[in-house]
Structure 1
Amino acid sequence: MVLLELLSGLSGLVKVKHHVDIDSAVFKLHYRITAPMLFCFCLLVTANSLIGDPINCVHDDNPRLKTKVVNTYCWIHTTFTLPKYMHRGYGRGTGVAYPGVGPHDSSDAKVHHAYYQWVPFVLFLQGLMFYTPHWLWKTWEGCKLGSIVMGLSQPVMNKDERREKIHLLAEYLHASIHYHNFYAIKFFLCELLNLVNSVFNMWFMNKFLGGMFFTYGLDVLSFTETNQEERTDPMIVLFPRVTKCSFNMYGPSGTIESHDLMCVLALNIINEKIYVFLWFWFVILSSVSFLALLYRLLVFCIPAIRSGLLQKRARLRYKTGLEAIGKKLQVGDFFLLYLLSKNVELISFSSLMEELSTRLARRPVHPDLEVTASPPSSSERFHLMSQSA
């Protein structure tokens, strides 16, 4: 029940619908899926009620050895495994109690395991890292898109009210043309940060787990396809379930007594599954993020693609007006229109594109142009025609 209460606090991060949609589907994979997932894993590995104590060490019947003290000591000062016993058979007649666990002396190589102390903190830090680009873009965006949508996302609206709002929005877009490039650049930087996040986190987990994470998923797949008696489970190698711990204490006469303990790390049953899933997830996420960034570069660099996307979004039958838009709009203008197309109802967006294309085709765009100027009256047009005659 406590775990469910903690998980319910993360529901705000995975809202299906916000007031306005200011990013892409791939962008949402980072802050709506990956970040809450990492926070959930962080809570999962700290929920000791699921598996009991994270570590339990076996010791002799010495009354001066307290179980709680021994467990705490081995948890804090790390446990270890012996590489020479890791890939050998174990059980009766082998001299090896478990992979990596067996008799040893001071000259034997040891692999110390201290990562399990830091797993919750690392998962929480990774969750913050994947949420940061969304927070940064939301801060930079400053509710700009929500302020100019003006309720045009509603499919049912008074005809005159719709026409008035479309007219005002077209005026704003025409007046602010060529002033949105930095807006688009900031979004591109956040998408780039998402990709860097994915790649960096794979490198970071590889360093955190002693250089074994890069091939971890492939090793697990290979193990499932081979005879399990011929090789050791890579999940046990990276996340050993049974380890050794050396506990030293003073004897009755003041001499140092060394106790060789065998410890069961029940928490690694959860850790090994979490990191197998994260390996596959980060590989997929990095690939998708790279393709999304490549797609964004192509869209930003090729005007024909931008015009085609706007035509598809507006579902206009004729491309004449959109060709004028494609020639005069810059990257930032296109990006703002593309976001509007995701938040404005289809009929309203089609009307907006038609009016905007008319404005752009009718007169040149200049920053000092008075957008609110009305078209010439009939008498003025007659006067101009008589002068030209």
Structure 2
Amino acid sequence: MYDVFGSVKGLLKLDSVNIDNTIFRLHYKATVIVLICLSLLVTSRQYIGDPIDCIVEGVPDNVMDTYCWIQSTFTIPSSKMNEINLPHPGVQPQQEGDQVKYHQYYQWVCFVLFFQALLFYFPHYLWKAWEGGKINALILDLGCPIIAKETKRERIKLLVDYFVSNLNRHNFYAIRFFICEVLNFINVVGQIYFVDFFLGGEFSTYGRDVFRITELESEDRIDPMAKVFPKVTKCTFHKFGPSGTIMRIDGLCILPLNIVNEKIYVFLWFWFILLAVMSGLALLYRLAVVLGSRIRISLLKTQAYLVPRNEVELVARKCQIGDWFVLVLLSKNIDPLAFKELICDLACRFDDKEQVQPA
């Protein structure tokens, strides 16, 4: 097990500098790790066995397996997918005019899962490139709980000087992060439609259908997973007979891999829906923060809970959305006492500026 999943252990490390939020990390951390692990799982024969085993007379097993894996297998959905007592739904002798449904997507599941992981990671990669290590440069050693008092005061003074000289110049920095949040939402919604297309239009209602059958009696259940990921399918092999004529040989193929695939996509259906809802709510929260100055003041008070309310309000009124956003990120990365000193010093500097301004 470690040989298979040990390669993703590096993704489990927590970043030393926090430049985003929990919902953002669910996209590029949790989802990426899950997708890569699932991609590795479906390629691990030691846990699943051969992905396909075909039964046919007159053709060597290994030849038939390879042929059917490459050419794809099929079922006949018009033939009784609605008959509960059918041993293998969609598998029966093919009659003229029967509609045939080919199943090739299981060959691509591991690649598609890895491609999806890259798409989920892209907004984070873009934000890291845009962020450029700004927060890491600003916090200096203030994230360390043990730091000399003189050094701490010096670092805070440098940080205050930076804020005063660059006040109202961080809006573009914050806008870039907000763009990446929108990309996260667009990506997860797009992934739902992409997987639906990949599975032939079966994914959009997949989890709902699976959940619905749990309420039915066992004899009345028609498993939707057997329709999307059939465990038994058909495969037609053509070879030349003794007289040179083409012989058509029907085989029965067992797909053990689909036992795993069906569980994977049930989980992904619920996860993508949950992630899309949370990301949508996060965008509504972000819109409220951008439009509501009072909300920003309240949130900054929550972060600077050691600072008197009037000083926090003074700093928040002077800051635009970008400055506020940088302060919030700093509060996640530096010691609470250091953040308290930072806000207090900023309040003093802003108060002094107000007093020296002509009436």
TM-score bracket for this pair, using the shorter chain length:
over 0.9
Residue of structure 1 in register with 2:262 after alignment: 272
Task: Show the counterpart of 2:29.
Answer: 32
Q: Select the residue among 44, 49, 68 that pairs with 1:74.
A: 68
Match of 1:207 in 2: 197
Cα offset for 1:295?
A: 0.9
Q: Retained in 2: the 8 A contact 1:59–1:261?
A: yes
Measured after TM superposition, the shift of residue 319 of structure 1 is: 2.2
Q: What displacement does 1:358 show?
A: 1.2
Contact preservation (8 Å) 2:307, 2:344: no
Contact 1:321–1:361 (CA under 8 A) maintained in structure 2: no
The whole-number CA distance in structure 1 between the counterparts of 2:215 and 2:99 is 30
Deviation of the 1:317 alpha carbon: 5.1
Looking at structure 2, the residues matched to 123 and 197 of structure 1 have their Cα atoms a distance apart, in angstroms, of 14
Residue type of the partner of 1:323? E
Equivalence for 2:218: 228
**Contact 2:307/2:343 (8 A) holds in 1:** no
Partners of 1:170 and 1:355 within 8 A in 2: yes
2:110 maps to a residue whose letter is: P
Query: Contact between 2:75 and 2:91, CA under 8 Å: does it hold in 1?
Result: yes
**Does structure 1 retain, via aligned residues, the 8 Å contact 2:28–2:124?**
yes
**Residue ranges of structure 2 left out of the alignment (5+ in a row):** none
Identity %: 47
Runs of 4+ in 1 over 4 A off after TM superposition: none
8 Å Cα contact 1:87/1:231 also seen in 2: no
The structure 2 residue matched to 1:218, chosen from 208, 231, 249, is 208
Deviations 1:24-78 (A, max 9, x none): 0111111110001100100000111212110111112x2xx12111111111111
Q: What displacement does 1:156 show?
A: 2.5
**Which residue number corresponds to residue 11 of structure 1?**
9
Alignment check: 8 A CA contact 1:55 1:71 kept = yes
Could you tell me how far apart the structure 1 residues matched to 2:289 and 2:307 are?
A: 22
**Residues in 2 aligned to 1:332 and 1:349: alpha-carbon distance in whole angstroms:** 18
**Range with greater deviation from structure 2 (71-80 or 314-323):** 314-323
Query: 2-side partners of 1:49 and 1:359: how far apart?
Result: 66
TM-score for both structures, normalised by structure 2: 0.96
Name the structure 1 match of 2:49: 52
Q: Please report how far the alpha carbon of residue 322 of structure 1 lies from its aligned counterpart in structure 2 after TM superposition.
A: 2.3
Residue of structure 1 in register with 2:310 after alignment: 320
Aligned-residue offset at 1:228:
2.6
Q: Residue 160 of structure 1 aligns with which residue?
A: 150
Return the offset for 1:301.
1.5
Query: Which of structures 1 and 2 has the bigger CA Rg?
Result: 1
Partner of 2:101: 111
Give, as a single letter, the amino acid of the residue that structure 2 aligns with 1:59: V
Letter in 1 for 2:74: F
Whichever residue aligns with residue 60 of structure 2, its letter is: K
Q: 2 CA distance for matches of 1:57 and 1:339?
A: 57
Helix, strand or coil at the partner of 1:152: coil
CA distance in structure 1 between the partners assigned to 2:84 and 2:327 by the alignment: 65
**Residue 136 of structure 1 pairs with residue 126 of structure 2:** yes
Alpha-carbon separation, structure 2, partners of 1:302 and 1:337: 17
Cα deviation, residue 316, structure 1 = 3.8
Whether the 8 Å contact between 1:134 and 1:190 is mirrored in structure 2 is yes
Q: Which residue of 1 aligns with 2:322?
A: 332
- How far apart, in 2, do the equivalents of 1:252 and 1:314 lie? 87
Give the drift of 1:314: 1.1
Listed as ranges, the gaps of 5+ residues in structure 1 are 91-95, 366-374, 376-389
- The answer to whether the Cα contact below 8 Å between 1:85 and 1:102 also exists between their aligned partners in 2 is no
Deviation at 1:299, TM superposition (A): 1.1
Question: Secondary structure at the residue paired with 2:177?
Answer: helix
Q: CA deviation at 1:97?
A: 4.1
Whole-Å separation in 1 of the counterparts to 2:245 and 2:33: 52
**Distance (whole Å) between structure 2 residues aligned to residue 86 and residue 261 of structure 1:** 19
Which residue matches 1:307?
297
Equivalent position to 2:161, from 171, 184, 189: 171
Residues of 2 paired with 1:104 and 1:149: CA distance?
A: 70
> Is the contact made by 1:245 and 1:262 (CA closer than 8 Å) also made in structure 2?
yes
Aligned to 1:46, the other structure's residue is in SS state coil
- Residue in structure 2 matched with residue 353 of structure 1 by the alignment: 343
Partner of 1:240: 230
Corresponding pairs, count: 355
Secondary structure of the corresponding residue to residue 57 of structure 1: strand
Confirm or deny: 8 A CA contact 2:142 2:335 kept in the other structure. Answer: yes
Cα distance in 2 for residues equivalent to 1:89 and 1:211: 22
Amino acid at match of 2:53: N
Give the one of 258, 278, 286 matched to 1:288: 278
